[in-house]
Structure formats: structure tokens, C-alpha cells
């Protein structure tokens, strides 16, 4: 009898600078900032968005990102565009 494989997963904490509906070329050119927490299932590559919030100021987004870092210290980080 074959035992099922354990589900491999990763948490990813993301912050995206947005210009309208697209990724901003730089954080300075962004007009909104999204902070998200993703669950990535390694076997399938499937991504589930566990948390998503849009902010009108980078300072508020930075504060939320820092709060999420404290809650999920093992999560990888994806900040786009890169600083």
C-alpha cells in the first residue's frame, strides 16, 4: 500500500505598487499598493490568495506589510517593483 505524499506548501507575503490595474514601473510612480498573503501548493503550483488589501498610501501598505511579517515570519517575500 502506498502512503500519500505530504502536501508541500509555502506562504508568500507580497506587496505590489500599482498604476491603475497594472504593476507600476517604480514604487514612486504607483498610485495604490496591494498587500497580499499567498499560499502556494508546491505539487501543483496552485496559488490561493489568503489575504488581500489595497492601500492609497505606501506608508499604510508598509505598515500592513510589517504587521504581516510579524504574524508570518517564515513567509517568503515578494515586493514589486523592487526598491
List, for residues 15-26, the tens digit of each pLDDT value.
999 999 899 999
Q: What's the mean pLDDT in 33-52?
A: 95
Longest distance between any two alpha carbons in the chain, whole Å: 57
The ranges assigned to domains in the chain are 9-80
pLDDT computed for residue 5 by the predictor: 79
Q: Using the predicted structure, report yes or no on whether residue 40 has a pLDDT greater than 70.
A: yes
What is the reported pTM?
A: 0.86
Percent of the chain with pLDDT over 90: 81
57-67: b (≥16 Cβ within 10 Å) or e? ebeebbebbee
As a whole number, the mean pLDDT across the chain is 93
pLDDT computed for residue 68 by the predictor: 98
The alpha carbon of residue 42 and the mean position of all alpha carbons in its chain are separated, in whole angstroms, by 16
Amino acid at each position: 500500500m502506498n502512503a500519500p505524499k505530504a502536501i508541500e506548501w509555502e506562504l508568500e507575503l507580497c506587496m505590489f505598487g500599482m498604476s491603475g490595474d497594472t504593476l507600476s514601473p517604480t514604487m514612486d510612480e504607483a498610485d495604490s499598493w496591494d498587500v497580499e498573503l499567498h499560499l502556494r501548493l508546491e505539487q501543483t503550483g496552485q496559488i490561493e490568495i489568503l489575504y488581500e488589501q489595497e492601500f492609497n498610501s505606501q506608508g499604510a501598505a508598509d505598515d500592513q506589510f510589517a504587521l504581516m511579517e510579524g504574524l508570518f515570519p517564515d513567509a517568503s517575500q515578494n515586493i514589486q517593483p523592487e526598491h
